[in-house]
Amino acid sequence: MEKNIDQIVQLCDPKLRSSTVYMPVTMELSPGIRNVLKAYQWLVHNDWPQIQPPETLS
């Protein structure tokens, strides 16, 4: 998942909701779950720091 997190976050963008490439095709992706994916992406890009990620990862 670490290798693909950028693509996963990109494909979960709500702007793509009406597109065939929108990732969660069978269910709605809540803003909370999307934020968890962005927090994970932040951790991967910052070499898993032992600090808390920023509250807003938009």
Digit-coded pLDDT (tens) for 1-57: 889 999 999 988 888 888 888 877 666 788 888 888 998 999 899 988 877 777 766
Domain assignment of residue 31, given as a range: 2-45
pLDDT of residue 28: 72
pLDDT of residue 3: 92
Whether 41 is covered by a domain: the verdict is yes
pTM tops 0.85: no
* Contacts (Cβ under 8 Å, ≥6 apart) of 53: 39, 42, 43, 46
Digit-coded pLDDT (tens) for 10-20: 988 888 888 88
* Contacts (Cβ under 8 Å, ≥6 apart) of 44: 2, 5
pLDDT of residue 6: 95
Whether 52 is covered by a domain: the verdict is no
Whether 25 is covered by a domain: the verdict is yes
Overall domain count for the chain: 1
Whether 57 is covered by a domain: the verdict is no
At residue 47, what are phi and psi to the nearest 5 degrees? 55, 40
